[in-house]
Chain A
Amino acid sequence: MSQRLRIAYFSPLPPARTGIADYSRELLPCLARLTDITLFVDESADVSEAISGEFPVHRTHAYARMRWGFDIALYQMGNSSYHGAMYDALRHYPGLTVLHDYGLHHFISDQTIAQNRFAAYVREMGYALGPAGIELACQVRDGQRQLPFFEAPLNDRLLQLSLGVLVHSDYVRQQLLAQKVPCPVEIVAAPIASYPAVSRRAQLDWPADAVIFGSFGQVWREKQIEAALRAFARVREVAPQARYLIVGDWAAGGCDLPALIAESGIADFVYCTGQVPDLADFVSWIATADVVVNLRAPTVGETSATALRALVGSRSLIVYDHGWYAELPDEICLKVAPLDDEALLAAMLKLGTDAALRNTMGQRGREYATQVHAPQRAAQVYVDFIQRILANLSPGHPDVPS
């Protein structure tokens, strides 16, 4: 096709406090150089002026009557409540789906059970798992078992509807191939932009030689902050100048962080910022840490924007060795076996006591992230993939009946 692609782009957008809004903020300028983009957002969502000044923005419900004006709909789909309206649109008008999380059980339960629509949850479980899924859902309703968040990804409907799926890791791609999804699946390295960041170290009143460990983003149970703080308490026995920085909202994640810190006896050596106002502030705090401890277990196949921002910011990084994280090159981060406290302690001690290693790793990480995860590179993968989907569906293609 010689003309520019016209894309209907569905995504949460800034100021929404979700990683996918930031993802779109960083991808859109590059994608807009190659295609014509119209944005579609939830009925009640705000859109920052920086975005609405650059792109036409419409409410999701308007897409039904506008859809003939676009070559394809593109859905940025994640596992949070920000994706409710777009999921409804996707169910009626499928297109290209960018799957940010392999598992969508949290999202589905939020859209069904949390809204007193248990029958809709039963339907999704039945769709994915057959009659056994219905039985399982009934057991959940009767309180006989917990929601199977990690056992049932509940992504089947979305995958079977989509004309193509973009994912951010081979880990997720392999799972989709095992599910025999009926459409092309392609990997795109998650785009990450580099921002000027100023370390906030001076604000902290900590010793000049303090090695600062840090964890960033919303503090959920899966982020394993408890394991990180346990290991930190032991690191201090060897490196008493070590400090820990926690940046992000902890109240919403159901974690009593102050109590946890007090119990560990490290209250004087840990600083929690709470929720920070914007991305600029967030990256500045990342720049403040020497070692970013970015754990997640279990994983739902997510890509961590925090890990990528740490790499772009030349920070040394510790992750669990599974999911997308396992695909990061060994020379840019330390990977430890999931939930292995001793391995985590060893990694923290290694980076906490070796400034040269931190610097080397940080520089390599920055080189890797700025090359592989460059937004313009991701934008080109998007365009190539869309064109491939359209070519497969075009009149004259051998798969298309005449």
Chain B
Amino acid sequence: MTTPPPDPLDQLRAMVTLQEQGFRSQVPLIGPLIARFRELWNGVATKWYVRPLIQQQNAINQQQVALLSAQVAGLRDVVSRLAVDEARLHHQAVRQQDHDEWLIDLDHEQVSLTRSQAEFAVRLIQVERLLLEIEQRLARLEPIPGADSEGS
């Protein structure tokens, strides 16, 4: 099992507050004295000048991290929604292709039906012509009963 890479945002959170550092001295015997002196002297400057700057910077850092956290959360949400949309799009594309194939089949079927209809129309016209021809022949062969008496 591999450990996941550290989250850069967590790393940033760990560094958000600036810390004042204590003074140390490596000089033997009088080292603590020197450190104490520096600390006292530094207290004068830090108290009135550096500490407010640190506090201001800390506030800025906290705000930045909060903002970044919100943006990262937003981005993660977008990414997950994109994945859902992508899956949906893929599904739609498959359905669209099914739909296209279905329409193409219908189009072919319609053409086939139109052709059959045309064939039947041609046959019907031929039958009609044939019937007309038969009627004309019959009319020539057999005078309509009573036609003579009506005419005379």
Contacts and interface: CB of A to CB of B under 8 A. Distances in A.
B94 to A, nearest CB: 11
B127 interface: yes
A399 B129 CA distance: 20
Interface in A67-97: 67-68, 70-72, 91-95
Interface string B107-118: 110011011001
A163 interface: yes
Interface of A: 1-3, 67-68, 70-72, 91-95, 123, 126-127, 130-131, 134, 157, 160-163, 182, 389-390, 393-395, 400
Nearest to A129: B104
A341 to B, nearest CB: 43
Nearest to A158: B111
B75 interface: no
29 contacts: A3-B129, A68-B121, A71-B122, A71-B126, A72-B122, A92-B114, A93-B118, A93-B121, A94-B114, A94-B118, A123-B107, A126-B103, A126-B107, A130-B104, A131-B101, A160-B108, A161-B111, A162-B115, A163-B118, A163-B122, A389-B122, A390-B122, A393-B119, A393-B122, A393-B123, A393-B126, A394-B126, A395-B123, A395-B130
A385 B118 CA distance: 17
Given A131-B101, A390-B126, A67 B121 contact: yes
B100 A126 contact: yes
Q: Interface extent on B, as a size class? A: 20 to 34
Contacts, number: 69
Contact of B107 (A70, A127, A162): A127
Contacts of B108: 127, 160
Interface of B: 97, 100-101, 103-104, 107-108, 111-112, 114-115, 118-119, 121-123, 125-130, 133
Contacts of A93: 118, 121
Given A163-B122, A393-B119, A395-B126, A127 B104 contact: yes
A68 B127 CA distance: 12
Nearest to A159: B111
A251 B128 CA distance: 52
Contacts of A393: 119, 122-123, 126
A97 to B, nearest CB: 11
Contacts of A126: 100, 103-104, 107
A142 to B, nearest CB: 16
A161 B126 contact: no
A393 B117 CA distance: 12
